[in-house]
Amino acid sequence: MNSFSLWFKTGIEHITDLNGYDHILFIILLVVSFPLNNWKKLLLLITGFTIGHSIALALSVTNCISISQNIVEVLIALTIFITAIYNSIKFKETDTKKPYILYILITLFGGIHGLGFSYLLRSMLGHEQSLALPLLYFNIGIEAGQLIIVSIVLLFSLLLTSALKISFNYYKLTISCIIAFITLKMFAERLPQLF
């Protein structure tokens, strides 16, 4: 298996792994933030997450940033919970004119998730001389996996809101509340690891 295939496949598997469902939950929250007719805002949100996690992944793998994995895992749970609560509070405001605060927040949260992605990559790289290409290939794999998750959630959203005529606002509220409860459990499990 060549280098691209190895790292690309590893990136896809890492983000789509159901054992690491925290990243999947966060992407689901991003996708339900805006209805598909607000696709530009949705695209900006997902792009902000991508930029944030790509920069943090690169900085962490090159040892420019070093934060304890336990702290990062607790922060990841917190980012998901905050986003779920935000979506729950703003569940009827799907056409907010200037959601810049949300874009900035999601980019920062993407950075925290990027630190989470970096632990696997760093452990696999070991003492490898060149970091640039494995980092690039792994990140491309993460993006491909993220697109798979986004596509599945969009199709599911369209099925419920268009075919079954479920209100997008209540769909968004329901998904956000369910994820908030799941994340509270996740946070409670991870918090003791800090002590």
Quote the pLDDT of residue 96: 55
Per-residue confidence (pLDDT) for residue 165, from 0 to 100: 87
What residue ranges do the domains of the chain occupy? 3-194
| Closest residue by Cα to residue 150 from 61, 79, 1, 50 | 50
Q: Give whole-number Cα distances, 21 to 14, 16, 80, 116, 169, in Å.
A: 10, 8, 11, 12, 24
Q: What's the count of helices (H) and strands (E) in the chain, helices before strands?
A: 7, 0
pLDDT at 41: 86
Per DSSP, helices labelled H in 1-64 are: 3-16, 21-31, 39-61
| Of 138, 22, 27, 118, the residue nearest 69 (C-alpha) | 118
Question: pLDDT tens digits for the chain (195 residues)?
Answer: 578 998 899 999 989 999 889 999 999 999 998 888 888 888 889 999 999 999 999 999 888 998 999 999 999 999 999 999 999 987 676 545 667 888 899 999 999 999 998 887 888 877 666 788 888 899 999 999 999 999 999 999 999 888 888 899 999 999 999 999 999 999 999 999 988
In the structure encoding, which two tokens stand for residue 71, read together? 């702290």
Residue 41 zone, left/alpha/beta (φ > 0; ψ -120 to 50; rest): alpha
**Per-residue pLDDT at 125:** 79
Rounded Cα distance between 106 and 74, Å, is 17
What is the per-residue pLDDT for 98?
64
From residue 56, alpha-carbon distances to 43, 53, 66 in Å are 20, 5, 10
